[in-house]
Amino acid sequence: MRPRSIVFDLFGDYIRYRGGSVRLRALSALMSCFGIGDSTVRVVMTRLRKEGWFDASKDGRETSYSLNSRSFQLLDEGRDRIFNRVRTPWDRRWYMVIYSVPETDRGVRDRVRKELAWLGFGPLASSTYVSPHDRLQQVREHFADESAVRLDMLRCESSGLTVDREMAARCWDLDTLNADYNELLVTYQPRMRRYRDGALSPRDSLIERMQLTYDYRKFPFRDPDLPVELLPERWAGRTAHDMFIEAHDLLQAPAEQYVDEVVGASGTR
């Protein structure tokens, strides 16, 4: 697991619900569970603060890091994409985004593609992305301050379900995604009995829960959460999501107990 990813997961699942601020000493103690040393933690947090993700404050010689409005927004969006799935019936509409970015702004173009993929849009054609879910307002908000990006957004329908399925298959590599979901199930389903039995210590529960979140949260970047009509046969995505939610819930209490012990012992509560 990458150190900065662990930082965001610790803040997203634990620290945000404990005031949103933590002393560096306590954060380092939590990061040590994953084999990350104090010096690495200091470097990572300094970089994240410079990038605008965290605020820092001093109390004597102690440094504390706090979430700010930008990082709260990131965590909220991430949590929504990871934990929530669309279960309402599909209205057979597609939501299309056609973007235009000057050739001189290649970095902006790459960011547009990544942001659209994060919001569940897939590439139908060059500079044209579609989604079966109405997230056009979110697209507007994401690029409201990006003057180099021109967006044309449409609501449309195809000529029928066969075409819809062909479009979905063109926009997303569903076979590879499904194989990866099955691999996740093979890894974690055998562990579910131990989770249900409460067999893990608080420290091990934190480590296991963090690893589970790390392994699962890559899927929302790739999975557009398609309506059931567009999914291939024997789709494992929803089974994997349900397993993730159950395991995440089962490990919550002991993992939070360990976080509270560490934070309390470091004088941060």
- The pLDDT tens digits for 169-220 are 999 999 999 999 999 999 999 999 999 999 999 999 999 999 999 999 889 8
- The reported pLDDT for the residue numbered 266 is 59
Q: Enter the tokens of residue 148.
A: 């180099």
Q: Select the highest-mean-pLDDT range: 47-56, 82-91, 141-150.
A: 47-56
Class of domain 3-72: mainly alpha
- The reported pLDDT for the residue numbered 265 is 65
What are all long-range contacts of 174-177, with beta carbons under 8 Å and residues at least 24 apart?
174/226, 174/231, 174/232, 174/235, 175/232, 177/219, 177/222, 177/223, 177/237
- The pLDDT tens digits for 95-111 are 999 999 987 888 888 88
Domain with CATH 1.10.10.10 in the chain: 3-72
Angle of helix 252-265 relative to helix 237-250, nearest 10 degrees, comes to: 50
CATH of domain 94-156: 3.30.70.240
Distance separating alpha carbons of residues 177 and 222, to the nearest angstrom: 7
Per-residue pLDDT, averaged over 32-55, amounts to: 96
> Is residue 116's pLDDT more than 80?
yes
Amino acid letter, 161: L
- The reported pLDDT for the residue numbered 78 is 85
- The reported pLDDT for the residue numbered 10 is 96
Domain with CATH 3.30.70.240 in the chain: 94-156
- The reported pLDDT for the residue numbered 268 is 42
* Angle of CA points 169, 116, 150, to nearest 5°: 120
- The reported pLDDT for the residue numbered 145 is 85
Mean residue pLDDT across the chain: 93
User: Measuring CA to CA, which residue among 81, 103, 26, 96 is closest to residue 222?
Assistant: 81
